[in-house]
Structure 1
Amino acid sequence: MLHVLLVRYTAPIDQVSPHVPGHVTYLERRHADGTFLLSGQTVPGDLGGVILAVGPREHVERVAAEDPFAVAGVAAYEIVTVEPGRIRDDLRALLG
């Protein structure tokens, strides 16, 4: 299953900033284990970020709750699950 995770800051950026190093470590760990396919800042960056994730929704929900931003209460996740109808052949392997 494919999931779009919208990460929205719920606190001023000066309260978010101290949690950035932990968030980056969290992202790196989840990219390495294959849960996250893509992550990045929104434009403008003060809104938050977007992550594309794969796996069962329950797993992705647990992973999102582990984000230091979520733990500290400075960001909230919205998870949109997508059932791909059409997909490029070169992306099919990534989505399982």
Structure 2
Amino acid sequence: MLILSLTYVKPNEEADKHMEPHMAWVKEGYAKGWFLASGRKVPRTGGVILAVGDRADIEAYVAADPFIIHGVAEYDIMEVALTTVTEGLEALKR
């Protein structure tokens, strides 16, 4: 599993300007079967996406995020080899 942690490097107002295309990009990640969960950080300093798939493919996809293209956010991608999950979350171990 990959944890995609994005951090805004510009004010939230700038992120808001690109939120609609970013959310379309997020929805496409779900459609591809790569994204399993996502949401905003609290406080709102960025977001987190739980993803599965080939790391190189995910990294290439992240590069196409409108937040990256417009310099709104930076990503930290962390790979985790889950060994145990609660019932119902077995997809996280892919």
Same structural fold, with TM-score higher than 0.5 when normalized by the shorter chain: yes
Q: Which runs of 5+ in 2 are unaligned?
A: none
- Whole-angstrom distance in 2 between the partners of 1:95 and 1:89: 12
Q: Which residue of 2 aligns with 1:87?
A: 85
The match for 2:71 among 46, 61, 73 is 73
Partner of 1:90: helix, strand, or coil? coil
TM-score (norm 1): 0.89
Q: Which runs of 5+ in 1 are unaligned?
A: none
Q: Which residue of 2 aligns with 1:29?
A: 28
Q: Considering fraction of residues, name the structure with more helix.
A: 1
Shift of 1:36: 0.4
Identity value in percent: 38
- Whole-angstrom distance in 2 between the partners of 1:50 and 1:80: 11
Per-residue CA shift, 1:28-50, capped at 9, x if unaligned? 111111110001001112x1000
Count of residues in Structure 1 that have an aligned counterpart in Structure 2: 94
Shift of 1:56: 1.2
Q: Which residue of 1 aligns with 2:3?
A: 4
TM-score (norm 2): 0.91
RMSD: 1.3
